[in-house]
Amino acid sequence: MTTAFVLFLALVSVGLSVMAWRKREQLVWQFTIPQEPASHGVPYFEQVFDYTAPRGQAHSPSILKEDDGFSILWFEGSAEAQADVDIHAVRCVRTEENWQADSPAPLVTRKELSGAFDPEQLVVTLGNTVENETIPQSIFATVVSVGGWAMASVADLRLGHGAAQYARKLNLSPFLNRSYLVKSPMVEMADGSFALPAYFEMGATHGAFVRLGRDGRACDLRRMAGEGEKPIQPMIVALGPERAIAYLRDFDPSGVLLLSRTEDGGKSWSNAEKTTLPNPSAPVAALCIGAGRVLMAMNDDATGAHSLSLALSEDEGNSWRAIHTLEQNAGDARYPMMRRLPDGEIVLTYSHGTKGGIRAFVFNQSWIDTQ
Amino acid sequence: MSARYTDIALACVIAWMCWGLLSLFMGGLPALVAGALMGGGAATFLRHNMVVRGIMALFDPIGIVLPLLIVGQALRTLGLPLPEFAALELVLFLILYVAFLATVFGVVPSDPYRYGYHPKPVAVVVLLLCAYGVLTGNWMVPLIAVAGQAMWVFKIGSSNYFDHILHATLVPVALVTLIARMIW
């Protein structure tokens, strides 16, 4: 009797497997390579937002592209990881003369996000955010329900009418779905989908390259591990259809930036290795600006994050030269994010004054070319 | 669909916790009934309560394994002859599952969890668990495996198959069960 029942279950399983095979996502393991925008127009580098939190801390800004400009999102509260931290945002729109920022305001509170889950889930604090480029007006938010950052999860959060409408967690870890966080923007793939750089912050730590299906659910995950190093916060730069480099922060303060490579469109990543780029255990922002050129915003002093610079590589990251100093000795300037807008302009944002506030700049290709 | 299933799974988990606590003070059957009422009530009427939201956040994704094991335990309390896991099975499960969890922390340089996103490895795992059921005569394991596969295929709950058939809370549960069997 038992054998017959189990054989029946096995038969059902075969049917389910056929169904799953037919419904499976056909992932394309190739990157989209951004076209190099034409270098024309007057070079400019314009500060569009300078904000100091009225109290407490404002940190880890991200950029959400919009039709008429962009929004900067960051977390703000009495201090990082405290139970009064919410996501704040400011909209920046282009006028005929220049860029103008609205007044900053809370975008998503912990209570709103908690209620956006179905069933509701406790949200104690919020962290890094990244735009979910697969679905308009959506973000991935780092959410903590218990413990600290090492117990965080990544929430796929849909926004609508300026508020949280729907949330669910990406399934990334077998350990209570814990310890995955996000920091850097998504990577466009050749099939029009986007991959999410994420990282695991417990134990040995590793970076992760998460593929998402059409329904926005995680459908594959590849690791960027280290041997002795503790790689986190991957910043992925695609250099060719199947070639990309990921710059990773070393969670142990080794004093240098780590690097992992893929030669097969993200299917496999080399073990993170040390570069010669000095780094005070801080994330970087990088952007491929065409023809093997990579622009990077980085803390370039191994002893601390008081210095933030823009550097340019013209040989796919093999050598670098500083082209502009953004911050120097005015408190820590950290967690840069850089993204290209549809018309070719580049937005750069970071926290300044040791998590005291947020700054954002917009510049163009001509400005880079004149540096 | 996914949210309503999660409501039921949450009710099972809360009922199980209440049942466990109440059974310290009252008989098995009354504790079970009271626990079921409390679990169903909490998941239905206390959705905004911080404790219920906290349990949901802590256990998510609940998967199919916890509700099925809880229902199985309840049915056994009601006198139905459902198969139980032998001590050796629990020990082997603990060794294998702890090793599986260790891979996520980089203790073992492997990532078996990622195969839970793909149909072929999932099909192999389910059929292996069915074969295990045939060999041991324990149909609970194949039932969990196939029910989990159905949930995964129909996108109810996690997008990773292993989240449906495994849950980190099974480690303390299996340990407590083993210790209880050694004592009694």
Contact B158, B152 (CB under 8 A): yes
Residue in B closest to A210 by C-alpha: B114
Tokens of B93: 């499960």
Residue in B closest to A166 by C-alpha: B3
Domain presence at residue B71: no
Using DSSP's 3-state secondary structure scheme, residue B73 falls into helix
pLDDT of residue B26: 87
Our count of domains for chain A comes to 1
How confident is the model over A228-248, as a mean pLDDT?
A: 96
Nearest by CB to residue B58, choosing from A146, A171, A173, is A146
Residue in B closest to A118 by C-alpha: B3
Residue A280 pairs in a beta bridge with none
Higher per-residue pLDDT: A2 or A184 = A184
How confident is the model over A143-162, as a mean pLDDT?
A: 92
Domain presence at residue B90: yes
Collect all residues with Cβ–Cβ distance below 8 Å to B93 and sequence separation of at least 6.
Answer: B85, B170, B174
Residue with tokens 């959060």: A157
Q: Which domain holds residue A248?
A: 30-370
Average pLDDT along chain B: 94
Domain presence at residue B8: yes
Nearest by CB to residue B150, choosing from A7, A16, A179, is A16
Task: Check whether residue B49 and residue B105 sit in a common domain.
Answer: no
Evaluate if residue A1 carries a pLDDT over 80: no
Domain presence at residue B108: yes
Residue A93 pairs in a beta bridge with A69, A100
Q: What's chain B's length in residues?
A: 184
Domain presence at residue A98: yes
Evaluate if residue A39 carries a pLDDT over 70: no
Residue in A closest to B166 by C-alpha: A174
Tokens of A250: 């070393």
User: Which value, to the nearest 10 degrees, does the dihedral of the CA atoms of residues A124, A224, A242, A292 take?
Assistant: 90
Q: What CATH number is associated with residue A251?
A: 2.120.10.10
Domain presence at residue A9: no
A53 phi and psi angles, rounded to 5 deg: -60, 135
Residue with tokens 């039921």: B8
pLDDT-derived band at A350, boundaries 50, 70, 90:
very high
Domain presence at residue B68: no
Residue A261 pairs in a beta bridge with A245
Domain presence at residue A3: no
Domain presence at residue B73: no
Domain presence at residue A309: yes
The ipTM value here is 0.94
pLDDT of residue A203: 87
Put residue A123 in one of left, alpha, beta given phi > 0 → left and psi -120 to 50 → alpha. Answer: beta
Min Cα separation B33/chain A (Å): 24
Q: For chain A, what percent of residues have pLDDT higher than 70?
A: 99
Contact A175 B104 (CB under 8 A): yes
Task: Check whether residue B106 and residue B142 sit in a common domain.
Answer: yes
pLDDT of residue B122: 98
Task: Check whether residue B32 and residue B88 sit in a common domain.
Answer: no
Collect all residues with Cβ–Cβ distance below 8 Å to B12 and sequence separation of at least 6.
Answer: B39, B62, B66, B67, B70, B71
Min Cα separation A255/chain B (Å): 23
Q: Which domain holds residue B169?
A: 82-184
Our count of domains for chain B comes to 2
Evaluate if residue A371 carries a pLDDT over 90: no
Residue A90 pairs in a beta bridge with A72
Contact B123 A20 (CB under 8 A): yes
Domain presence at residue B74: no
How confident is the model over A27-50, as a mean pLDDT?
A: 88
Alpha helix (H) residue ranges in A108-226: 110-116
Task: Check whether residue B52 and residue B96 sit in a common domain.
Answer: no
Task: Check whether residue B12 and residue B98 sit in a common domain.
Answer: no
Nearest alpha carbon to residue A368 among A334, A321, A328: A321
pLDDT in tens, A284-293: 999 999 888 9
Task: Check whether residue B40 and residue B130 sit in a common domain.
Answer: no
Instruction: Give burial (CB, 10 Å; 0-12/13-18/19+) of B80.
Output: exposed
Task: Check whether residue B91 and residue B130 sit in a common domain.
Answer: yes
- The 8-class DSSP code of residue A34 comes to P
Task: Check whether residue B39 and residue B89 sit in a common domain.
Answer: no
Domain presence at residue A46: yes
Domain presence at residue B142: yes
Task: Check whether residue B91 and residue B41 sit in a common domain.
Answer: no
Nearest by CB to residue A17, choosing from B52, B119, B143, is B119
Evaluate if residue B75 carries a pLDDT over 70: yes
Neighbour tally for A134: CB within 10 Å: 18
Identity of the amino acid at A245: I
Nearest by CB to residue B47, choosing from A12, A120, A173, is A120
Min Cα separation B104/chain A (Å): 7
Domain presence at residue A353: yes
Contacts of B159 in chain A (CB under 8 A): 170-171, 213, 217-219
Min Cα separation A76/chain B (Å): 22
Identity of the amino acid at A313: S
Contacts of A24 in chain B (CB under 8 A): 118-119
pLDDT in tens, A191-203: 999 999 999 999 8
Collect all residues with Cβ–Cβ distance below 8 Å to B35 and sequence separation of at least 6.
Answer: B15, B16, B17, B18, B19, B20, B22, B23
Task: Check whether residue B48 and residue B102 sit in a common domain.
Answer: no
Task: Check whether residue B90 and residue B169 sit in a common domain.
Answer: yes
> What is chain B's Cα-based Rg?
17
Average pLDDT along chain A: 94
Contact A14, B147 (CB under 8 A): no
pLDDT of residue A235: 98
Contact A155, A143 (CB under 8 A): yes
Cα–Cα dist A346/B79, whole Å: 69
pLDDT-derived band at A33, boundaries 50, 70, 90:
confident
pLDDT-derived band at A330, boundaries 50, 70, 90:
confident
Cα–Cα dist A305/A337, whole Å: 15
Contacts of B59 in chain A (CB under 8 A): 176
